[in-house]
Structure 1
Amino acid sequence: MTTPATICLLRTSAIGDVTHVVPLVRTLQQAWPDTALTWIVGKLERKLVGDLPGVEFVTFDKAAGWAGMRAVHAALRRQRFDALLQMQVAMRSNLLSLGIKAERRVGYDRARSKDLHGLVINERIPARSGEHVLDAIGSFCEPLGLKQTQVRWDIPIPDEAHAWAAEQLPGDKPTLLVSPTSSHALRNWRPERYAAVMDHVAARGWRVALVGGPSPDERAMADSVLAQCRRAPFDLTGKDTLKKLLALLSRAQLLLTPDSGPMHMANAVGAKVLGLHAASNPDRSGPYSDRRWCVNKYDEAARKYLGKPASEIPWGSKIEKPGVMDLIGVDEVIECYEAAAHELNLP
C-alpha cells in the first residue's frame, strides 16, 4: 500500500479521548515518519497535546460556534489530505469535517455511527464490539494498512511543570491525588465518601492532595470534600494547568477519581488509578493500562436502573442516573486502595 503523504486527524474533545489519540499518532509516526500529520483539536485539549513533536495542530474553538468552524476551514482551505481520520461522531464534528478536503475519509463502523456520520465518510474501521475506546481509536489506522500493536504516550511535560510539581509534592512520600469532579455531574461520588477514603489514606501515612480545575463546580466540590475531612489534605484545586497536572500525576502513586479526563492523563504517565465506575463501563472507558484498582458497579447499575445485566445492554451505554454512584461504598474503595498499596509495595 502506498504510504500517504498527508493525514488529517479529527478528534477535538474531550481530554480523556484526546489522550487516546496520542498512541495512534505514535503508531503513524513510527510506521511512516515522513507522513505529514495535521490534528484538528479543541482549544482546551490543545493545551495538553499541542506540543507533540511532528504534528501540525489546528485549533477548533467550539464555543465560537459557526465562526469556529469557519476558522478551521480557512486554515485548511489550501490543503488536500490523502486521508482524513474522522474519529468523532457528534453532529458538530461531522459538520466540521465537511470543510476538510480528503481523498479517503475513514470513520466509524455503522454500529458506532450517529448524527449522519455515514454521510461524511467513505471508509469505515472494522466493526467490533467490546473494545476499549483507545483500541477503537487505534483501529483507525487499519483501513490504511497498519495495525496498532504498541501503545505509547510520552506526552511532553515542560521542565517548569515538573519543577512546580516538585515544589507542591516534594520528596518521595507515597501520594494519593484525588480528582473528585467529572464533567458529567452524575458520575461524581459524594463528598463525604471521598473524605472518608482520604482520611483513611492519610492515617496510613500517605500524603493526600485534592486536584481539579478552576471551574465553579470543581471549586464547590473541593470545598465540600475539605469540609468533611478530619485530616486536611493539600488543596491544589485550580492551581495547576493540564501540563502541571501531568507532572503532579507523574509524582503520585495513585489517583482517586470517577470516569474523567484526569483518569486517562494519570494512566498516560503511569500512575495507578482507583477508578469509580457505576455510570460507565470501565472495560470501555476505564484506565487503559490497568483496571485492577477500579471499583466496578456497572453491572449492578444496569440491573437496578435498566432491568437487565450489563451484558444485555448496548456496549458503551451510560447509566447516568441520579444516585447511581451511591452504589459504590467507602469500604470497597478502601479495600481497593489497600490492595493497590500492597501490590505497589508501599506502606
Structure 2
Amino acid sequence: MPASLCIFRLSAIGDTTHVLPILRTVQRRWPDTAITWVVGRTEAGLVGDIPDVTFRVLDKREGIRRCRARLRAEETGRVHDVILQMQSSLRASLIATSLRGHRRIGFDRARAVNGQWLFTSERIAARSREHVLDAYFGFLERAGLAARELAWGIPLPDDALAFAARELPADRPLLAISACSSLRLHNYRDWPAERYVAVADHAAARGFRVVLTGGPSARERAYADAIVAGARVRPVDLVGQTSLKQLAAVLARCAGLIGPDSGPVHIASALDVPVIGLYATSNPQRTGPYRHREFVVDRYPDAVRRFLGREPDTLRWGTRVRHPRAMELITVADVCERIDRLAV
C-alpha cells in the first residue's frame, strides 16, 4: 500500500466521472493512502468537494508555463509513491513534470499518444477494445491494486438539491434532454433540433415532463429556444442556469436523460440515471455511459460503413466518424422506442 498516490487527470467532465471509481477503489482498499488529484478548474466544480482528497486545481486557460509553476509551488517538498498519469495530451504531460514521484504510470505504448510514453516510467497492461473507464482501472492494477469498486459518489450539496427541488415540478416523472456536446473542430455530435422536438412531444405523451439542460453558450441557447418553440408541451428550460453541482442534482431527480456523447451523459450515468445516449460519430462501447448501455442508440457501425466505407472491427479502437451527416442516422423512432421502455 503506497503512502501517497497522485491522480493526474485535468479534463474533461466525462473523463473526470470515469476517474471516480478509481478514486473510490483506492479510498476503500487502501484507506491509509494519502490521495492527491490534479484536476481542471471546471471539473473541480463537480468533484472538488470529495472528502479526504487533496485537490490541486489548475486552469488550463492560464497556459502550460503558469500551470506548471502553480503546481510546482503547491507540491513543494512532496514526493508521491505513485503518480497515475491518466491523460495523454502533450500539454498534460508537460504540466505533470512538475510532480515528483517514485513511480510514474502512463498508458501502454499503443495508447500513449502525443509521446506520453516519454514522460512516464511504467505502462499499464496493453489491452484493446475496452471502455475508457476499464482502461483507467489498468492504472490501479499496475500500481498493485487489482480490486474494482464501481462506485462514483458525486457529492450533492444541500444548496444544489434545494435548487433542483425548487425548479423541477413533482407532478410527473422527469426526462432530461441535454442536446449539445462540446464544440470542437469536426466533432459533429449534435442531433437535429427538430428531432429533439419530436421526441420531446413523444415523451410528454408518455407522461414525462421534459427538462432542458445545458450550458450558457449561444449554440445551446439556440437549441433550447428551438425545442421550446416547437414542442406542444412547454419543457422546463434550465439551459444556462445551472452549475455542475446543480446540474447533477437536477439529473438525480430524473428518470432518464437523452443526449449525445458529452459530460452530462456521464454525470447521469455516474448517478445511476438511465441514459438514452445518441451515438453515431463515436463508439459507445468505448465512450458511452458505463451503466444502462441497453438504452443507448448505437448507429456507430452504420456510420462507419456509410461514411468510412469500412467494417467497425477493422478500425483502430477509438476512431471517430467526422462527418456532419452521421448523427442523422439516428432516427426519431430509435429514441422513442427507448422512451417507451423507460416509461414502463
Question: TM-score, normalized by length of structure 2?
Answer: 0.96
Structure 2 residue aligned with 1:345: none
Distance in 2, Cα, partners of 1:70 & 1:170: 47
Structure 2 residue aligned with 1:89: 88
Letter in 1 for 2:222: A
Structure 2 residue aligned with 1:198: 200
Shift of 1:217: 2.3
8 Å CA contact retained: 2:299, 2:330: yes
8 Å CA contact retained: 2:255, 2:342: no
Secondary structure of 2:102's aligned partner: strand
Secondary structure of 1:187's aligned partner: coil
Distance in 2, Cα, partners of 1:159 & 1:236: 19
1:74 pairs with 2:73: yes
Structure 1 residue aligned with 2:259: 257
Size of the aligned set, in residue pairs, is 340
1:217 pairs with 2:227: no
Shift of 1:320: 2.5
Deviates more, 1:131-140 or 1:252-261: 131-140
1:81-134 CA-to-partner distances (Å, cap 9, x unmatched) read: 111100000010011111111110000001111111011101111111111111
Secondary structure of 2:188's aligned partner: helix
State which of 308, 311, 316 in structure 1 corresponds to 2:310.
Answer: 308
Structure 2 segments unaligned to the other structure (5+ residues): none
Distance in 2, Cα, partners of 1:104 & 1:121: 8
1:114 pairs with 2:90: no
Shift of 1:216: 2.2
Secondary structure of 2:145's aligned partner: coil
Shift of 1:34: 1.1
Distance in 2, Cα, partners of 1:48 & 1:216: 23
Structure 2 residue aligned with 1:19: 17
Deviates more, 1:70-79 or 1:281-290: 70-79
Letter in 1 for 2:37: W
1:3-30 CA-to-partner distances (Å, cap 9, x unmatched) read: 2111111000000000000110011111
Distance in 1, Cα, partners of 2:234 & 2:277: 22
8 Å CA contact retained: 1:139, 1:148: no
Question: TM-score, normalized by length of structure 1?
Answer: 0.95
Secondary structure of 2:207's aligned partner: coil
Shift of 1:172: 5.8
1:176-196 CA-to-partner distances (Å, cap 9, x unmatched) read: 100001004510000000110
Structure 2 residue aligned with 1:241: 243
Structure 1 segments unaligned to the other structure (5+ residues): 343-347
Shift of 1:228: 2.5
Letter in 1 for 2:340: E
Runs of 4 or more above 6 Å deviation: none
Structure 2 residue aligned with 1:149: 148
Letter in 2 for 1:150: E
Secondary structure of 2:114's aligned partner: coil
Structure 2 residue aligned with 1:41: 39
1:236-256 CA-to-partner distances (Å, cap 9, x unmatched) read: 111111111111111000100
1:175 pairs with 2:179: no
1:126-160 CA-to-partner distances (Å, cap 9, x unmatched) read: 11111111111122111121124220011110011
Distance in 2, Cα, partners of 1:102 & 1:149: 24
Q: Percent identity?
A: 47
8 Å CA contact retained: 1:60, 1:69: no
Letter in 2 for 1:182: S
Letter in 1 for 2:60: K
Deviates more, 1:252-261 or 1:138-147: 138-147
Letter in 2 for 1:279: T
Distance in 1, Cα, partners of 2:324 & 2:227: 19
Distance in 1, Cα, partners of 2:173 & 2:231: 19
Structure 1 residue aligned with 2:281: 279
Shift of 1:322: 1.0
Distance in 2, Cα, partners of 1:168 & 1:82: 46
1:203-239 CA-to-partner distances (Å, cap 9, x unmatched) read: 2221111011112222122122223223211101111
> What RMSD, in angstroms, separates the aligned Cα atoms of the two structures?
1.2
